[in-house]
């Protein structure tokens, strides 16, 4: 897409009354590569993940100083307890990974997970309704979750997962604008459960639309220091990865080489 086409979509869909995102999304200073660990949402969302695996995930997050662990809702309280004495946040997912739940259920789920100890909520946009051009309903769905989160926990973050692998560029731009209209803090590329993950091009496009206002989280398939650096260069302010430890070990090996 050309810059003019992007700007045209932004002005067509942007709401002048969009609520501001939470301070944490926008006021964080640009992170140096030394601070790579603080970019990672250390992630374990597979359905067969055990309690033991969550304990290991939390231990690793504590060791490396990751931004958060990202776990399924059933493990939020376990992770919150394991990380209570650290500054590692507990991130979880809502309406995940299909995004096709009712808005009332997504809002209820958001309230439930915050009460269990999560402070970051990665929700999935309703892709089917976006493709049905039901933009008002898509925005209302996002807004229902943002409002539930703000009501439960003033400082919690909401990230909106677009599932970019399923979207056209035009749909990606519209989705970013709707997320911003709804008051989200971040837009995020992927669930990791669809046919593709984060690409540098998508992160750059999303940053072009929301940059300066919302954070951009690159997730799905980021597995090396080079890939992580490329995402940061394209505008990512958070990286979701299950292989965060391997990336950190690669970085340490670079440093000692």
Torsion of CA 21, 25, 27, 28, to 10 degrees: 180
How many positions of this chain bind its own copies (CB under 8 A)? 39
Residue 158 binds to its own copies (criterion: CB under 8 A): no
141, 172, 188, 202: the catalytic one is 188
Q: CB of 30: closest distance to its own copies in angstroms?
A: 33
The secondary structure of residue 37, as a DSSP letter, is G
How is residue 243 written in tokens? 């292989």
Contact pattern for its own copies over residues 187 through 226, marking x by CB under 8 A: ------xx--------------------------------
Q: Which of 164, 84, 155, 151 is nearest to 117 (CA)?
A: 84
Count how many Cα atoms sit within 13 Å of the Cα of residue 82 in the half-sphere of its side chain. 22
Angle at 69 between CA 88 and CA 254, to 5 degrees: 85
Phi and psi angles of residue 151, each rounded to the nearest 5 degrees, phi first: -70, -35
To 5 degrees, how large is the angle CA 186–CA 100–CA 185?
A: 10
188 among known catalytic residues = yes
Site string for its own copies, 80-109 (x = CB under 8 A): ----------------xxxxxxx-xx--xx
Q: Which of 122, 141, 185, 202 is catalytic?
A: 122
CB 178 within 8 A of CB 170: no
Binding marks (x or -) toward its own copies, 52..71, rule CB under 8 A?
x-------------------
Using an 8 Å Cβ cutoff, are 153 and 119 in contact? yes
Q: How far is the CB of 28 from its own copies (least distance, A)?
A: 29
Specify the residue, 10 or 98, whose C-beta has the smaller distance to its own copies. 98
Phi (first) and psi of residue 213, to 5 degrees: -105, -55
Residue 172: active-site member: no
Q: Quote the CA–CA distance of 79 and 63 in Å, as a whole number.
A: 14
Is-catalytic flag, 217? Answer: yes
Closest CB 189 distance from its own copies, rounded Å: 14
Restricting to residues 113-142, name those near its own copies by CB under 8 A.
113, 116, 124, 126-129, 131-132, 134
Residues lying near its own copies in the complex (CB under 8 A) are found at: 45-52, 72-76, 96-102, 104-105, 108-109, 112-113, 116, 124, 126-129, 131-132, 134, 163, 166, 193-194
């Amino acid at each position: 897409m050309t810059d003019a086409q992007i700007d045209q979509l932004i002005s067509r869909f942007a709401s002048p009354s969009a609520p501001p995102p939470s301070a944490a999304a926008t006021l964080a200073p640009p992170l140096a590569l030394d601070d790579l660990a603080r970019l990672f949402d250390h992630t374990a969302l597979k359905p067969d993940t055990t309690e033991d695996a969550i304990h290991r995930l939390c231990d690793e997050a504590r060791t490396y100083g990751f931004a958060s662990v990202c776990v399924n809702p059933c493990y939020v309280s376990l992770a919150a307890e394991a990380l209570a004495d650290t500054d590692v946040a507990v991130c979880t997912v809502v309406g995940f990974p299909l995004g096709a739940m009712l808005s009332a259920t997504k809002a209820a789920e958001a309230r439930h997970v915050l009460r269990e100890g999560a402070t970051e909520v990665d929700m999935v946009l309703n892709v089917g309704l976006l493709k049905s051009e039901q933009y008002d309903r898509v925005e209302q769905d996002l807004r229902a979750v943002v409002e539930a989160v703000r009501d439960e926990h003033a400082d919690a973050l909401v990230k909106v997962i677009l599932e970019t692998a399923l979207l056209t560029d035009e749909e990606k731009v519209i989705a970013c604008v709707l997320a911003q209209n709804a008051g989200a803090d971040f837009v995020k590329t992927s669930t990791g459960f669809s046919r593709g993950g984060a690409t540098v091009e998508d992160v750059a496009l999303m940053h072009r639309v929301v940059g300066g206002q919302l954070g951009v989280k690159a997730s799905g398939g980021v597995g090396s220091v080079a890939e992580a650096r490329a995402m940061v260069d394209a505008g990512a302010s958070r990286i979701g990865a299950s292989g965060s430890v391997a990336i950190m070990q690669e970085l340490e090996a670079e440093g000692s080489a």
